[in-house]
Amino acid sequence: DIQMTQSPSSLSASVGDRVTITCRASQGITNYLAWIQQKPGKTPKLLIYAASTLQSGVPSRFSGSGFGTDFTLTISSLQPEDAASYYCQKYDGAPWTFGQGTKVEIK
Amino acid sequence: EEQLLESGGDLVQPGGSLRLSCAASGFICSNYGMSWVRQAPGKGLEWISAISGGRDNTFYADSVKGRFTISRDNSKNTLYLHLSSLGVEDTAIYSCATRIGVMLVWGPGTLVTVSS
């Protein structure tokens, strides 16, 4: 199975900071890569699919890039409501696999 | 607009069974592979099962193989997940999702709590 490796596992940043999370696939997955946001007590929220396509309703401060094995999620100006865990997900075929998650905290 | 909506989550005793539903709208779900994913409290996301488009081949994670069954009712455009021999470790939010081309569609999820 293809493994997804995310980094960092956690980060702490100030409001307004630019935040970057990376995800690496153990094999090429073209652009079948999604980013999921998870807040405590809430259901998972799809932020980005196809590596860089913003889901409807997601703020434009979120962006994604990458192709093949290396991917990035960027929050251009961190907001208090962005405190959450973020997961990358490959979905080119079963089994889908997820990164270990990155917990984003606000300083 | 393509949408998925799960239902059926409940409080169930250990050893019990439950059936989750995932109603699709805006597309014909039998044409596409569909999956179930779950997230246990304080844990990461876990893919647990998939059914292929067309031929209905099924796939399961080792953690649920032999206990969970994925199926689909094309007349109702609905995906199901039958959960049996439930343990406390199966407590989670269960979400259905599908890939349509490169687009990914997720449902909002339904909560299953296994507790005595």
Each residue's pLDDT tens digit, B44-56: 999 999 999 887 8
Residue B42's pLDDT band (boundaries 50, 70, 90)? confident
Tokens of B42: 């304080």
Percentage, residues of chain A above pLDDT 90: 89
Tell me which chain B residue has its CA closest to the CA of residue A95. Answer: B47
- In whole angstroms, give the CA distance from residue B74 to residue A47: 29
The predicted-structure confidence for B19-41, as pLDDT tens digits, reads as follows 999 999 999 999 999 999 999 99
| DSSP E strand stretches across chain A | 4-7, 10-13, 19-25, 33-38, 45-49, 53-54, 62-67, 70-75, 84-90, 97-98, 102-106
**Judging by beta carbons within 10 Å of its beta carbon (0-12, 13-18, 19+), is residue A25 exposed, middle or buried?**
buried
Question: What is the greatest pairwise CA distance in chain A?
Answer: 38
Q: Using CB atoms, pick whichever of B45, B59, B99 lies closest to residue A44.
A: B45
Decide if A2 touches B, using CB distance below 8 A. Answer: no
The pLDDT value given to residue A60: 97
Q: How many CB atoms lie within 10 A of CB B2?
A: 14
Ramachandran region, residue B108 (left: φ > 0; alpha: ψ -120 to 50; beta: rest): alpha
d(CA B43, CA A14): 25
Note the pLDDT of residue B8: 97
Position A19 pLDDT exceeds 90: yes
A104/A12 Cα distance (integer angstroms)? 6
- The minimum CA-CA distance between A1 and chain B, rounded to whole Å, is 11
pLDDT (average), residues A62-91: 97
Residue B56 CA from chain centroid, whole number: 15
Instruction: Output the pLDDT for position B53.
Output: 87
Contact at CB, A44 and B39, closer than 8 angstroms: yes
- Flag if A44 and B50 touch (Cβ within 8 Å): no
Q: Is the pLDDT of residue A94 over 90?
A: no
> Residue A27: which pLDDT band, with cuts at 50, 70 and 90?
very high
C-beta of residue A54 within 8 angstroms of C-beta of residue A62: yes
Contact A89 B99 (CB under 8 A): no
Q: Torsion angle, CA of A34/A37/B31/A94, rounded to 10 degrees?
A: 60
Q: Residues 19 to 78 of B: which have CB under 8 A from any A CB?
A: 33, 35, 37, 39, 44-47, 50, 52, 59, 61
The mean per-residue pLDDT over the stretch B104-116 comes to: 94
Q: Which comes out higher in pLDDT, residue A42 or B95?
A: B95
